Amino acid sequence: MKHTLFLFDLDDTLLDFKASEQRSFALTLGELGMKDDIDALFADYQAINLALWRSFETGAVSKDFLKVERFRKAFAQHGLELDPEEASRLYLESLSNTVVLIDGAVRLCATLAAIGEVGIITNGVEQIQKRRIASSGLGDYISFIATSEACGHAKPDSRFFQYTTAMARAFASHETIIVGDRLDADILGANHFGIESCWFNPDRLANASAAVPTCEVHTLHDVVPALRSLVSA
């Protein structure tokens, strides 16, 4: 295998964020006294949250604003008189306790950590992501965690990847690869920074974007064989 530095996106690549998000949202609303009929609210929250994250990635809003605004908008849309700041606090606390691993994540990180260095690249909230990694059982295999919050820039900005690779023990562009599920953040970021990328695409989505992955896999079990095949590519 030619790679010695493996940069992994966290949510929906190693950890099943969708499952964690739904559990945490339900727990949060339960703490606020709302235990039933939250499906429509959750669907609207997800749409609002996604739009705000896209705005954050372009620098249009701050992460502190995003964390509360997604609840404020969702509650307002449904005419609920709930405290968005308290909802945000409860939700972020519960995320650390609702970790769900993607199948094969631990074995993959253990395998690659024995070959080189594994780092996490995430646009998520730093302290929450660190707690989630600690709860996941992946921590023993992770050398460093790079977050947009600590960096001040988000994927796919090349400044984020400059910050990330400076955290590694050693960095050579031709020996580095990013593994992630998002074309617009992970794969495009790799393209702009001049390193290879592996698109984790479990839903077998079509790529209609400008991002060009070096390889594509549909399960985490396929990552090591795919990376080995790049030696002669």
Q: Which domains does the chain have, with CATH numbers?
A: 5-16+101-229 (3.40.50.1000), 17-95 (1.10.150.240)
Report the DSSP pairing between strands 176-180 and 117-122. Answer: unpaired
100-119 pLDDT per residue, tens: 999 999 999 999 999 999 99
Q: What are phi and psi of 183, to 5 degrees?
A: -65, -40
Rounded to 5 degrees, what angle do the CA atoms 112, 117, 118 make?
A: 70
Longest dimension (CA), the chain: 60
pLDDT at 148: 92
Nearest 5°: the CA angle 107, 97, 224 is 15
Q: What's the confidence (pLDDT) of residue 95?
A: 87
Ranges of the chain with pLDDT below 70: 232-233
- Comparing CA positions, the residue from 102, 76, 91 lying closest to residue 124 is 91
> Would you name the residues annotated as active-site residues?
9, 11
**Is there a contact between 217 and 199 (Cβ–Cβ < 8 Å)?**
yes
User: How far apart, in whole angstroms, are the C-alpha atoms of residue 180 and residue 197?
Assistant: 8
Q: What is the pLDDT of residue 232?
A: 52
Distance CA 224, CA 54 (A): 31
What pLDDT was estimated at residue 50? Answer: 92
| Ramachandran area for residue 11 (φ above 0: left; ψ -120 to 50: alpha; else beta) | beta
Beta strands in 42-174 (DSSP E): 117-122, 144-147
